[in-house]
Structure 1
Amino acid sequence: MTTTTVLEDPPENAPAGVAFYTPPELPSEGERGSPVYQRRLDNPVAQLKEGDNWLVLYRSQDAHGGPVATSGILALPRTPPPAAGFPVISWAHGTVGVSDLCAPSRDDVHSPAHAVNTYPQTLLNTFLRRGWAVAMTDYEHLGTTGGRHPYMLGASHAAAVLDIVRAARRLFPGRLARRFAIVGHSQGGQAALFAAHHSPSHPDLDLAGVAAIAPANHLLGIVRAGSVVPSHAEDGGYAFTPLLLSGALGGDPAIRPEQVLSRAAHALWPHVDERCRAGLSHPDSWGGLRGTEQFRGAYPALPNPDQQRFDAQLAAMNPDLTLPVPARISQAADDPRVRADPAPLQGTDDLVAELRELNATGGRPLLYQRYPAGEVPGDEPLGVHFATINHDLPHLVAWLTPLLNGAGYGDGS
């Protein structure tokens, strides 16, 4: 006589509406990944159509070791789980901004971040159809009240990406496998690499591999180069300066924005908490500044002490890291946002070279899927940078499948 185990859903204990995003005060001691609140996701805009969606608030850790409540979405396939449970993909999303209203789990059709938030849904729904659960963090203080999102701060992103996997396992015991992979795009590609780097300090997590699509890299050189351009950025790229300063402040709260930024730029600094990335690019915001109008004094030639601290944080954001698992980097040669080879600056080609040198003796494969110029469609709404996600999808799935099955790794080509 066989006994069928009944897998019950977790109780819905979360406040309704946006009250969900005002977390209670967390005790100083507690287990990372512990769920704080959870309820079924009632935001159809943010839902993944191929899965059973839950909104979760979970305990994580900031870059200084303090407790923080972080929001995200858990999506499980609607099919019965296999004996070992559904493998898990921890998804790290790309840049939306640092304002709480930009968070993926709070997405709205009228949000300036809506196109960015919805674009990866094809990828994520594909994972669900393959029988893989998806855990999607919003990142620290993106969505939740009480602090500013530390954009591109590696340790913070790593904690959010790893701890949501713990939260998923606690909420759905018996349904999720121990084995998981991390996949991210752009900001999330950088986050994915940092999470993989930090994973050895989390022995309860069984990371199979990490995939980074157009990962952000070499940010210090990009900011410094932009600061001497005597014109506006045609692509609104200077909107990333306040975002990066928010991340630098997360790593070094002693940095004074008024000492880093010019008077004109500092007058626009409050916009970082009010607008999504697209809104920061408008002419009435950072899109109206010339490169040479962003910073105080003689930066970058003679940075003042606060600018030196800012630079140090930017340098630490580069994901040239040791990786304990197989890794895959994918990049379009003609991506206009994260560039493969932006000589004389450094780009993804250089990051891959750095990663290979750092990981040469580990015996873990690092695959670089570099798509030639023109191969990735350039006429999609968000251009080659986002179009790379769907173009890369079949190759990424081919690489992930044997890893999540415990059979090694695929070539992903």
Structure 2
Amino acid sequence: MSDIEAVRAQRSTRPSPRRRSGFVTATALAAAIVSSPVSARPAAATPVVDDSPDLSFYSAPDDRIPGPPGSIIQIRAVIGDPALPNARNYLLLYRSVDMHGMPVAVSGTVSVPQGSPPPGGWPLISWAHGTTGVADVCAPSLDSSELYPAHDYTALVRRVQARWIAAGYAVAQTDYQGLGTPGPHGYLIGTAEQRAVTDMARAARELEPEIGKRWVAMGHSQGGQAAIFANAQAQEWAPELRLLGAVALAPASHQGVGLQAAQLATVAGIPSAGASLAGESTAFLPLIIRGAQTVADIDPGRFLTAHTTAMVSLADASCIGGLRGPQAWGGLAMNEVFDSEGDMSALTRVLDENDPSALTFTRPLLVLQGRDDTVVPAVATDSLVAKQRLAGQPVQYRGYAGADHRAVLEASYDDALLWVNARFAD
């Protein structure tokens, strides 16, 4: 029995000392990782098994962070949430590169089906999650119980991911740069998200050499935007892997246009129209601002009222559910948010630069959209797909009547499975 098999046997026969967000400490796990073959990239420091308290896992020593993108810093084997059933599950800290060219540590999870892989290795889905927030506590890998502030969303995502495991796919999910780990989270900054998604795929293969080189990027909402950016940029970022295409569910797009329209509607005295164009809720605005501030000098006081400028900092501690609350951003009418004479050009410029509608790519893309979505309106996704098709991009599009923003995850699964199966069958 190999070292890694011994660890898997431990995991299946011995109860975890922590049922929720549990982990197994084993020298054998570290030895297995060290001996695993990796891609022909510069050698990194030896990954370690970390059994420190949950939150400290996410802060690696500074001297361990530099290294090749996608190489592993430290690992845990996970039992209980956020693990997927019928799989070997791991929590990782791996390396990526931020928008300033600096090495950063990123957290995420990897789940690998039980049993023997097919020829060529387990097909891999690198999953990009939807909006949870920008505060470290909002990282999906921290969802170990119903107390996690975005549990209603991440639990739904895990149910869908479990279906991919049952279909024979390995599933890796990044938390994104700066979400859980030190540093700011580049919310809706497409290239930063793409790097996290692609380097997660690299890390998954370093951890489990039974995972093949072929992979698909898949994401929902914020993650749908990330998946499209991966479709355009990942092959160049990680040429040693083979990206087969991407699946984008309700991808975020046209954020700049939406905010400009909301501000104009406020000036014109029709806040209900502004709310519709902005995408149902003002609660995403502080996240958008914080994300844009990672790449540009954005002063929210130039376009928000004094009251809402002071409220931007709520995003630094609250996840999306808390921001939607009636005592937070969810309690604001659109005409209370914007300064009617404000200048948001710096913010909309960043959003326009990160709009996936303008990307060019050669690998196939499947876009899936709920027609009753009020968070990412169907009209925005219709426009995204139309623009991409006019540019000659290889895009397929499916809509689901009666499905809202979250319901599209399960409503579209069968179509996504057929499409992804076809990519791996080529």
| Normalised-by-shorter TM-score class | 0.7 to 0.9
Q: What is the CA deviation profile of residues 310-330 of structure 1, one whole-angstrom value per residue up to 9, with x for unaligned ones?
A: 110111221021123111001
Measured in 2, the distance between the counterparts of 1:125 and 1:200 equals: 27
- Asked whether the 8 Å contact 2:194–2:230 carries over to 1, the reply is yes
Q: Is 1:349 aligned to 2:382, yes or no?
A: yes
Correspondence for 1:338 among 376, 381, 405 = 376
User: Structure 1 residues 271, 399: CA separation in 2 closer, same or farther (over 3 Å shift)?
Assistant: same
**Residue of structure 1 equivalent to 2:405:** 385
Distance in 2 between the 1:93 and 1:191 partners?
A: 9
Task: Name the residue aligned to 1:292.
Answer: 335
More helix by percentage:
2
Moved more, 327-336 or 240-249: 327-336
Equivalent residues in 2 for 1:129-278 (5 A)? 129-144=166-181, 146-173=182-209, 175-201=210-236, 202-227=238-263, 228-229=265-266, 231=271, 237-252=281-296, 254-278=297-321
**Aligned partner of 2:163 among 115, 126, 130:** 126
Contact 1:236 1:281 (8 Å CA) reproduced: no
CA apart distance, 1:26: 4.9
* Preserved contact between residue 127 and residue 219 of structure 2 (Cα < 8 Å): yes
In structure 2, relative to structure 1, the CA distance for the partners of 1:277 and 1:36 (3 Å cut) is: same
Q: Is residue 2:360 matched to residue 1:322?
A: yes
Q: Counterpart amino acid of 1:196?
A: N
Mapped pair 1:282 → 2:325: yes
Give the whole-Å Cα distance in 2 for the aligned partners of 1:219 and 1:339: 11
Indicate the residue corresponding to 2:23 in structure 1: none
**Structure 1 unmatched runs, 5+:** 342-346, 377-383, 408-413
CA contact (8 A) 1:87 1:176 kept: yes
For 1:239, give the aligned amino acid: A
Report the Cα distance in structure 2 between the residues aligned to 1:324 and 1:161, rounded to whole angstroms. 18
Task: Tell me if 1:97 matches 2:133.
Answer: yes
In structure 1, the residue matched to 2:419 is 399
Shift of 1:6: 7.5
1:142 CA displacement: 0.8
Moved more, 259-268 or 110-119: 259-268
SS in 2 for 1:311: helix
User: How far 1:402 moved relative to its partner?
Assistant: 2.1
Separation in structure 1 between the aligned mates of residue 198 and residue 63 of structure 2, nearest angstrom: 19
TM-score normalised according to structure 1 size: 0.86
Residue 83 of structure 2: aligned partner = 47
1:283, distance to aligned residue in structure 2 (A): 2.0
Is the partner of 1:147 in helix, strand or coil? coil
Q: Give the counterpart of 1:116 among 130, 153, 157.
A: 153
SS in 1 for 2:346: helix
CA contact 1:31–1:59 (8 Å) conserved in 2: yes
Are 2:66 and 2:104, in contact at CA under 8 Å, matched by a contact in 1? Answer: no
Q: What are the superposed Cα offsets for residues 23-46 of structure 1, whole Å, 9 maximum, x if unpaired?
A: 22156852100101101124x231
Letter in 1 for 2:398: Q
Of 374, 384, 391, the residue aligned with 1:358 is: 391
Paired residue type of 2:411: H
TM-score for both structures, normalised by structure 2: 0.83
Deviations 1:315-346 (A, max 9, x none): 122102112311100112221211112xxxxx
Aligned length: 375
Displacement of 1:225 in angstroms is 2.4
CA distance in 2, matches of 1:29, 1:112: 31
Q: Deviations over 1:292-327 (max 9, x none)?
A: 33234513xxx2xxx321110111221021123111
Preserved CA contact (<8 Å) 1:34 1:58? yes
Post-superposition CA distance 1:248-294 (Å, at most 9, x none): 11121x22233343210121121101111111111221123222332
Unpaired runs of at least 5, structure 2: 8-28, 31-47
Query: Structure 2: which amino acid aligns with 1:327?
Result: L
Native 8 Å contact 1:93 1:185 kept in 2: yes
| RMSD of aligned alpha carbons | 2.1
> Does the 8 Å contact 2:90/2:110 carry over to 1?
yes
CA deviation after TM superposition for structure 1 residue 212, in Å: 0.5
CA contact (8 A) 2:65 2:104 kept: no
Structure-2 change in CA distance of 1:125 and 1:55 (3 Å): same
